[in-house]
Structure 1
Amino acid sequence: MRRILAVLGFVLLASCQSDEGAPTPQFHATENPQSLSEWGMLRATRDTLLTGSGVEPYDLNTPLFSDHAGKFRTIWMPEGASARYSEEEVFDFPVGTVITKTFYYPVAEDGQLLRGDRPADIWAAPDTLDLASVHLVETRILVRRETGWVALPYVWNEDQTDAVLMRTGDMQHFVLADGGGEIEVNYLVPNANQCQGCHATNNTTREIQPIGPAARHLNRDFDYGDGPVNQIDHLVAAGYLTGAPSPDEAPQAPDWTDTRVPVEARARAWLDINCAHCHNPAGSADTSGLYLDPGTPMGPNFGLCKVPIAAGPGSGGHRFDIVPGRPEESILIFRMESLRPDVMMPELGRSVIHEESLALLRDWISGLEGDCS
């Protein structure tokens, strides 16, 4: 596992070393560079992937599922700029902020691609620090300009030396080794409209927003090289965040894989990061009446014994979104089990079924008490 996650560990270490040799970040206020390297956030050398000066890595308590890809996230702001803390919403980031998310698959010693989303201490210092340990797929940039946020997808070239802007998106086929078997992935790099489909979290304004950088997702420890430090504290110390309370006073979403946490909290954390950017009272799925955000209490709006609205084939002939004690009769499970484009949920970002999250949600629904009759 140490070799599999080598490059990602090196990226972390490189960000904590001196800035000698690190790229210089650039805020492009209007133009969209054709190459990722022109942003100066990340740079691939012959052996390693470097982060730019002042570019801070971060992770989420529970990440979005994306066809078993691993993800490396960074954030950068211009000198003197900082985000304003929010208790519930994504932080209010200043103009000039650049957020990156790099998607990759680990490479085994025999060259086989592997899943990158296995629970593991991915930030442990590795023995091998070379790009042969991962296959970089794409890096998505969210940049905050005067006119609002802009999403730009960059696809890594075959030589893994740089990534090229692909506004029209891309599709790539991968075969991942998985416990003696294989998983075939038709990996989708979203186009500009598809980026807006998820990141336009308010269906009225249709403005693009980040999804992950909120207090509940960031409130966790991260090893920046000198031992674990709370990410909120680190962002405050770096000058990137103002107005934040101490971490023990901030909300915290659980890690959905942490079996020490009650199953309902884990299930809601998974639904929050994977579904709530659309399924909330203001989101693009607002007319569905199904709200999976943390502020919605357990009840009909969260799907319990709720009749679907205009679901069409998405109902699968089932009567309710969630039937307590009966996951096999719940529309939520039916749609997560499907790969039909007009049925599957989430509808973007996956071409395979995520068996682990399905198992969690089945367990949660099986334990719910009640009767929809």
Structure 2
Amino acid sequence: MAQGGRRIVALMLALLALASCRPQPQVHFFAEGQPQRLSQWQLLTLQDQRLRLNPGVLPYDLNSPLFSDYALKLRTVWMPQGQAAQYRENETFEFPVGTIISKTFYYALPQGARWDGGLVARQAPEDGGLQDETLDLRRVRLIETRLLVRREQGWLALPYVWNDEQNDAVLQRAGALLPLQLIDAQGQREEVAYQVPDQNQCAGCHATDNRSRQIAPIGPKARHLNRDFDYADGRENQLLRWSRSGYLDGAPEAGQAPRAADWTDTHASLDDRARAYLDINCGHCHSPTGPALTSGMSLDAATRDRLKLGFCKQPIAAGKGTGGRLYGIVPGDADASILAFRMDSDDPAVMMPELGRSVIHREGVALIRQWIEQQQGACDS
């Protein structure tokens, strides 16, 4: 090899060595202000056509996730060094100032297809899209990333929408409406008016205590997190990983902590699956303290009173939302139940939940209908 060629090879090797030793960006917590670009927080990085997590950013998942127009979600949490959340058995953990919780919404691309401006797959890929704590951007389309930031004054919600180049997301305080098309395995397509919530709408769901109206996280509760997760270095229970990472104080052994069912797990009881689905999708509003408390209907995990759950319960306010039905849940008769009727609607004046979806969750409706059909009792007794 000529001397000039050897010099070029040596230079390339030196550059590669420098690149491999280059420190990864450190997360930047903003104690005030509203940064315009997601990249300013330095939670995520793009490398080799993959979306990666920066040091200290811990991914997690929920036993039963909230339905959002079939979008997949990458959830992460980050806390300042030396800070930890305090364990609570039934409520959201108490997070320290400086915490950043993120949720990135994305869709898988149809098998063998490239992004054409709106067509996405209804079904998740077999691996869920996440491998070794990274997302392959050749196989998925990033839609939005929502941040919940814990400041001295309380939590702040920030919605960021990913750009066409898929290299950053921009703050959209007023939200956005994104036209998409879902395609299923049979080739059937469905139009989706995907809504990125504005900051007020974020507060509408996350203000889970109607007395204080302060926003708070919904998902990070023991019963939702008590499950295994496939981390880059192996599979481990999330409560254990959070504790070992210094992000959680006071947690018991996983076997002693509450655990919600995975609503898709057919090995679990139908009652556990249905209650877990209603808890995560409805219980943050329909609870004794939530925004829907005036309805008198509570669908959170703690509620056991059948009347409060909606069995043979007449609605507080009649109208289009009842579909002419008399009771929230009629045991053994899903067709006569207001709950099933509102879940099976995409009419904004009827549908429940009111926010967070524009299409009907077919599988979720089927689950709740099956659960209602197996209930015993009669409303005329």
Contact 2:262 2:276 in 1 (8 A): yes
Aligned to 2:181: 175
**Bigger Cα displacement from structure 2, 305-314 vs 327-336:** 305-314
TM-superposition CA deviations, 1:240-289 (whole Å, max 9, x none): 00000000000000100000011111000000000000000000000000
The match for 1:309 is: 316
CA RMSD, Structure 1 to Structure 2 (Å): 1.8
Between 46-55 and 328-337, report the one with greater CA deviation: 46-55
- Which secondary structure state, in structure 2, belongs to the residue aligned with residue 314 of structure 1? helix
Note if 1:111 corresponds to 2:114. Answer: yes
Q: Distance in 1 between matches of 2:379 and 2:21?
A: 60
* Aligned equivalent of 2:89: 87
Partner of 1:256: 263
Matched, 1:148 2:154: yes
Does the CA contact (< 8 Å) of 1:276 and 1:293 recur in 2? yes
Distance 1:276 1:291, change over 3 A: same
- Tell me the residue number matched to 2:98: 96
Q: 1:186 to 1:246 in 2, by over 3 A?
A: same
Instruction: Write out per-residue CA displacement over residues 175-232 of structure 1, whole angstroms, 9 at most, x where no aligned residue.
Output: 1210221121110000011001100000110000000000000000011123210000
Residue of 337, 346, 355 corresponding to 2:344: 337
Output aligned runs, 1:191-270, within 5 Å. 191-270=198-277
Report if the CA contact (8 A) 1:106-1:114 is conserved: yes
Bigger mean CA offset, 70-79 vs 36-45: 36-45
Q: Secondary structure at the match of 2:170?
A: strand
The yes-or-no answer on 1:158 pairing with 2:160 is no
Hey, what does 2:10 align to over in structure 1? none
2:141 to 135, 139, 143: 135
After superposition, the C-alpha distances for 1:107-166 in whole angstroms (9 at most, x for unaligned) are 13122644465484427748x974121110000000000000000000000000100000
SS where residue 363 of structure 1 aligns?
A: helix
Task: Assess if the C-alpha contact under 8 Å between 1:42 and 1:52 holds in 2.
Answer: yes
In structure 2, give the amino acid aligned to 1:354: H
Gaps of 5+ in 2: 1-19
Secondary structure in 1 matching 2:217: coil
- 8 Å contact kept, 1:153–1:189: yes
Residue 119 of structure 1 contacts residue 257 of structure 1 at CA under 8 Å; is this kept in 2? no
1:37–1:19: structure 2 CA closer, same or farther, 3 Å change rule?
farther
> Percent same amino acid at aligned positions?
55
CA distance in 2, matches of 1:79, 1:117: 38
Shift in Å, 1:52: 1.4
Work out the CA distance in 2 between the residues paired with 1:219 and 1:121: 20
Structure 1 residues 42 and 278, CA, compared in 2 at 3 Å: closer, same or farther? same
SS at match of 1:50: strand
Change (3 A) 1:20 1:222: farther
- Other-structure match for 1:3: none
Amino acid at match of 2:356: G
Do 1:22 and 1:51's aligned partners in 2 also have CA atoms closer than 8 Å?
A: no
Distance in 2, matches of 1:352 and 1:58, equals 26
Q: How far, CA to CA, are the matches of 1:31 and 1:281 in structure 2?
A: 34
Q: Hey, what does 2:195 align to over in structure 1? A: 188
| CA contact 1:289–1:301 (8 Å) conserved in 2 | yes
Residue 242 of structure 2 aligns to a residue whose secondary structure is helix
Say which SS state the counterpart of residue 76 (structure 2) adopts. strand
Q: Using structure 2 for the length normalisation, give the TM-score.
A: 0.90
Three-state SS of the structure 1 residue aligned to 2:181 is: strand
CA distance, structure 2, for counterparts of residue 114 and residue 322 of structure 1: 35
Shift of 1:313: 1.4
Q: Secondary structure at the match of 1:362?
A: helix
The AA in structure 2 aligned to 1:225 is: A
Between the aligned partners of 1:330 and 1:89, the Cα distance in structure 2 is 29
C-alpha change, 1:275 and 1:207, in structure 2 (3 Å) is same
Higher-Rg member (1/2)? 2
Other structure's SS at 1:132 match: coil
Q: 1:125 to 1:338 in 2, by over 3 A?
A: closer
3-state SS, counterpart of residue 347 of structure 1: coil
Q: Distance in 2 between matches of 1:101 and 1:233?
A: 21
- For residues 336 and 52 of structure 1, what CA distance do their matches in structure 2 show? 38
Q: Distance in 1 between matches of 2:164 and 2:129?
A: 26
Q: Which of 294, 297, 300 is matched with 2:301 structurally?
A: 294
